[in-house]
Amino acid sequence: MKINTFSNDLPKEIVSKIKDIVSVDCEATGLKIPERDKLSLIQLCNKEGEVFIIQPDRKSYNAPNLVSILSNPKIKKLFHYARFDVLALNFFLKTKVSNYECSKLKSFLTRTYTDQHGLKNLTLEFCNENLDKRQGSSDWNKSINLLSKKQLEYAARDTYFLAKIHSELDKILVRENRLELYKKCIEFLDTRIELDQKGFKFDIFSH
């Protein structure tokens, strides 16, 4: 796994390496976005398994090259928990992430034999790899040059296995005849994210 790190934005020459499909993940200072916490890192992994970690400018969040990938409808973006990541990317980068998929949604609809739908569980089941999540509670806002090798590897591995996981979950969606149901869920996710952004994070369909 090759890891590349950048400050502020992706270089233009890297954008050409992102074609058709890319795995995406984010690190933040906490889970209360946008009301309190900040977007700290964005990780991308292309289909060749090369990882690009970007630390945006936390004042301007101006990253036009990165935005050109996220907003490109011809490039499929693979997330694990898209509800959080897409909200953060849309809000801070002032963009509209297009053509994205969510492995957590797929897992809920397919892996009905378990209540464990975290990325660690999916990676172990489908890739036979054990993700070490101990680096997850880190100060991701310090300079990217000060992040340790273990921290960078942690951030990178959260994208490295996503393509394989999505592929395996897609097979089960087809097998269990739930692909169309998933498509309806992912179509609604944009609305669910907009509700989150406007403060309606509770279940609006509850009694």
Residue 134 reports pLDDT greater than 80: no
Domain boundaries, the chain: 2-197
Report CA 67 to chain centroid distance, whole Å.
14
Buried b (16+ CB within 10 A) or exposed e, 53-71: bbbbeeeebebebbbbbbb
Question: Which tens digit of pLDDT belongs to each residue from 43-54?
Answer: 999 999 999 999
- The average pLDDT across 150-172 equals 96
120, 133 contact by CB (below 8 A): yes
pLDDT at 16: 86
Residue 207 reports pLDDT greater than 90: no
- The average pLDDT across 108-118 equals 97
- The average pLDDT across 114-130 equals 96
- The average pLDDT across 130-134 equals 80
Residue 183 reports pLDDT greater than 70: yes
Q: What phi, psi does 55 have (nearest 5°)?
A: -105, 110
Alpha helices in 128-200 (DSSP H): 149-160, 162-175, 179-197
* First-to-final CA distance of the chain: 48
Nearest to residue 89, comparing CAs of 35, 34, 144, 50? 34
CATH number for the domain running over 2-197: 3.30.420.10
pLDDT at 136: 64
**pTM, 2 dp:** 0.95
> Of 4-8, 75-79, 94-98, 147-151, which gets the smallest average pLDDT?
147-151
- Predicted confidence band at 120 (pLDDT cuts at 50, 70, 90)? very high
